[in-house]
Amino acid sequence: MDAAHGAPVPGAAVRLVGFPPESLLQGPGASAPRPSFDAVNVNTTPLQDPSDRQADDIGSIDALMTGFARHDYVCDRRLATVAFLSLRMHRPLLLEGEAGVGKTELAKTLSALLGAPLIRLQCYEGLDISQAAYEWNVSRQLLEIRLAEAAGPVDAPRIARDLYRRDMLIERPLLQALSAERAPVLLIDELDRADEPFEAFLLEMLGENQITVPELGTLRAVHPPHVIITSNRTRELRDALKRRCLYHWLDYPDAEREFEIVRRRVPGAAAELSRQAVAFVQAVRAMGLFKPPGVAETIDWMRALQALDTVALDRKRVGETLGVLLKHQEDIERVSGEEMPGAGLAS
């Protein structure tokens, strides 16, 4: 259901419990009453000022960069600027880029910096509303019906209303983010892996910080979450979603910034070995491989080299550890062959 427009979204699997069978509420032939939504307890509290205290404490782009660095997240000024604007304007931030360049890590770092809870929705093919936002507690609804039957004469209108109370909802990550007592960081990770109809459901939440439940009403956030959306761009996201977000393309870092990242993430590694490893990775990325290594792979590789007590890179050690850096056999064969980069590597 496209909650913002009240129209069904093709292909979206929305598992909502229907009204109880007639035989459970009244005698045969009687029609089950529709619940009166006026009697349902819906959170209609007006939105507070979207700028919460923790976000306001970050008074400038430089302060945000300093905070990121304090949590060992190294970024350039362009990324820090769009992240700062996302906090100040309270707009979702859409990060696109290759896998392993630090998109997910930014959300984790922002959560640590703000001291805010991190709520993560990992997207995948077939993800629907019942897994992402909410679903009705079916077993509890059936129990309520049976208890009402056992108690004597059935008050059908009251039961119909009670079956769709707010506390009958099982909260999934999106609704958890709207219901939080303080503004959380909501990470919607790898949205490009979800089906296109799921994007339509997100529009209401991203644009208005609310979710409409047909049987219940509109649930609005008192403390709107800080939303980070990531995409590896395996497919193009719709313009309607992009318009509701600030956007940044996160590319592979240059050698100097990648060296700084490695220095912070693998603090025990020798500086010269780190520079050799970063130079090698930068050269490998320029080879046009099927899946170039990301920064996450560089960090893993450095930790592997450190675990093997490596003092300096040579072709033998590189060949032995390429499975840490590269994840496709064709890429490994190409890099370990005659095209192995790094003229300075010892044999």
Q: What is the CA angle 168-120-210, rounded to 5?
A: 50
Q: pLDDT tens-digit profile of 190-243? A: 999 999 999 999 999 999 999 999 988 999 998 999 999 999 999 999 999 999
CATH 3.40.50.300 is the classification of domain 53-130+172-250: yes
Share of the chain above pLDDT 70, in %: 82
pLDDT at site 39: 29
Of 73, 26, 33, 6, nearest to 162 (Cα)? Answer: 33
The rounded mean pLDDT for the chain is 84
Amino acid at site 93? L
Q: How confident is the model at residue 345 (pLDDT cuts 50, 70, 90)?
A: low
Instruction: Give the pLDDT mean for 52-59.
Output: 69
Cβ–Cβ under 8 Å, residues 225 and 183: yes
pLDDT at site 57: 77
Q: pLDDT tens-digit profile of 105-151? A: 999 999 999 999 999 999 999 999 999 999 999 999 898 888 887 87
* pLDDT score of 312 more than 70: yes
Of 136, 88, 250, 118, nearest to 188 (Cα)? Answer: 118
Of 80, 251, 271, nearest to 262 (Cα)? Answer: 271
* pLDDT score of 38 more than 80: no
* pLDDT score of 53 more than 60: no
* pLDDT score of 334 more than 50: yes
pLDDT at site 65: 96
Cα–Cα distance between 239 and 295 in angstroms, integer? 29
pLDDT at site 115: 94
pLDDT at site 271: 94
* pLDDT score of 34 more than 70: no
Domain boundaries, the chain: 53-130+172-250, 135-166, 255-336
Residue 28 CB neighbours (<10 A): 6
Cβ–Cβ under 8 Å, residues 345 and 321: no
pLDDT at site 43: 38
Looking at per-residue pLDDT, the higher value among 266 and 12 belongs to: 266
pLDDT at site 97: 96
* pLDDT score of 40 more than 60: no
- The whole-model pTM stands at 0.80
Q: How confident is the model at residue 76 (pLDDT cuts 50, 70, 90)?
A: very high
